[in-house]
Amino acid sequence: MAVSDTANDIETVVIGAGVVGLAIAAELAEAGHAVLVVERHGTFGTETSSRNSEVIHAGIYYPPGSLRAKLCVEGKERLYTFAEKYNVPVHRCGKLLVATAESEIAQLEAIEAKAAANGVSDLKRLTLDEVRGLEPHVSCVAATLSPSTGIIDGHAFMAALEARLLNAGGEIAYHSQVVGVSAEPDGGFRLEISSAGDVSELICARLINAAGLGASIIGRMLEYRKAGYAVPGLFPAKGHYFSLSAKAPFKHLIYPMPSPDALGVHVTLDMSGAARFGPDVYWQNDLDYGFVAAGARRETFAKEIKRYWPSLPEAALMPAYTGIRPKIYSQGSPPADFEIHAAAQHGVPDFVGLYGIESPGLTSSLAIAVHVARLLET
């Protein structure tokens, strides 16, 4: 759909056709709302939603009670059910969390405790014989199996969400960038949308800002009624991936112990069984996807991977792609939760802003959609 030159009245606008915006839009359209998704690119999911690991996370890393923990655990179940119903390729392959030194065992135990507190009760500590049986090439001093971790074809998932949205009567305006947002005096919002060099206006009753890396910019366009309310700022943190040009010997995902701001250089598999490694963490001030210092980075990756896979054929590591985490805390600060703000936070009725939807945002997307729908009802 193209946004027309004249003002339209549309009940609900969702800004952003990433996995989160699409999931919210589909949820609202299926509940009977008239929904339009506005996306600046020519198709869905070309930013963070297609530059990730495509892992369905179990929900074991995040602080108990946090939105990331709650929505990940709920979203995982919803995602497996959705994938089965709509034939989205998915594989519940499981993952091994590995401690590669005695000093990391306390961290492994802390993850096990956090998982239990988050309601993830299927983790299993393995003996070293069991590890060898499952993954003969992995070297570690202790390992825990997460059986509910899996992988999904992210593109097929988003295509299914788009189809659900369109089938429910929703619409998507591609090549349409939101460049202005203001609240109308009697309720609702006026959007300025730039498309093919023209700027048009659109009026909607309800607005959802699911613009990912663009969410803070959009959030700051609005004036808020609650004193002291501040839109979370963006602190982009790039992650680089290497692929393996040789055949990978793994059947499970292999994760080392995480750092505070990322999950460590892990092995994930795609739906064809090909292995990729990453993402690392590279804090930057812009949204440049360029691969930084590939040669030096290969050496760092190889060193980290060899801690759990000593026989890595280093020459087979190929620079693959990058993704940018939409972090809302600066380097060295404590990690932030997902921030999903409605009138209770900012005082503007019928507006929900989503900030800091980094991992596990793909896993959580269907649960985020239900959460946002509930916020709009209150």
Nearer residue to ligand FAD within complex by CB, 99 or 211:
211
Rounded to whole angstroms, the Cα distance separating 175 from 375 reads: 29
Rounded to whole angstroms, the Cα distance separating 70 from 61 reads: 11
Q: Which of 48, 100, 149, 200 binds ligand FAD (CB under 6 A)?
A: 48
What Cα–Cα distance (Å) separates residue 327 from each residue in 139, 233, 259? Answer: 32, 8, 15
Regarding 97 and contact with ligand FAD (CB under 6 A), the answer is no
Query: Minimal distance in Å, beta carbon 377 to ligand FAD?
Result: 21
Per-residue contact flags (x/-) with ligand FAD for residues 222 to 261, judged by CB under 6 A = -----------------x----------------------
Read off φ and ψ for residue 298, nearest 5 degrees. Answer: -60, -40
Rounded to whole angstroms, the Cα distance separating 168 from 29 reads: 6
Regarding 160 and contact with ligand FAD (CB under 6 A), the answer is no
Rounded to whole angstroms, the Cα distance separating 283 from 40 reads: 25
Q: Which of 17, 35, 108, 207 binds ligand FAD (CB under 6 A)?
A: 17
Regarding 210 and contact with ligand FAD (CB under 6 A), the answer is yes
Q: Token pair for residue 268?
A: 């994930």
Q: Which of 12, 21, 123, 269 binds ligand FAD (CB under 6 A)?
A: 21
Coil, strand or helix at 142: strand
Q: Which of 8, 66, 139, 177 binds ligand FAD (CB under 6 A)?
A: 177
Question: Which residue stretches of 41-124 are H helix?
Answer: 67-85, 105-117
Regarding 357 and contact with ligand FAD (CB under 6 A), the answer is yes
Give me the residue label for tokens 């993850």: 111
Query: Minimal distance in Å, beta carbon 175 to ligand FAD?
Result: 9
Nearer residue to ligand FAD within complex by CB, 214 or 264:
214
Q: Token pair for residue 229?
A: 């309310």
Q: Which of 187, 134, 154 is nearest to 56 (CA)?
A: 154
Shortest-Cβ-distance residue relative to ligand FAD: 361
Q: Which residues contact 142 (CB under 8 A, 6 or more apart)?
A: 98, 99, 104, 105, 108, 125, 128
Regarding 327 and contact with ligand FAD (CB under 6 A), the answer is no
Rounded to whole angstroms, the Cα distance separating 309 from 369 reads: 38
Regarding 209 and contact with ligand FAD (CB under 6 A), the answer is no
Nearer residue to ligand FAD within complex by CB, 257 or 372:
372
Regarding 216 and contact with ligand FAD (CB under 6 A), the answer is no
56-95 binders of ligand FAD (CB under 6 A): 57
Query: Minimal distance in Å, beta carbon 154 to ligand FAD?
Result: 8
Are the CB atoms for 37 and 26 separated by under 8 Å? no
- Looking at residue 222, its amino acid is L
Q: Which of 198, 161, 206 is nearest to 179 (CA)?
A: 198
Nearer residue to ligand FAD within complex by CB, 126 or 340:
340
Q: Token pair for residue 186?
A: 């009697």
Q: Which of 227, 243, 56 is nearest to 152 (CA)?
A: 56
Count of residues that interact with ligand FAD, criterion CB under 6 A = 42
Regarding 359 and contact with ligand FAD (CB under 6 A), the answer is yes
Q: Which of 14, 160, 358, 371 binds ligand FAD (CB under 6 A)?
A: 358
Nearer residue to ligand FAD within complex by CB, 83 or 142:
83
Give the interface with ligand FAD as residue ranges (CB under 6 A).
Answer: 15-21, 38-41, 45-49, 51-55, 57, 177-178, 210-214, 218, 239, 279, 323-325, 357-363
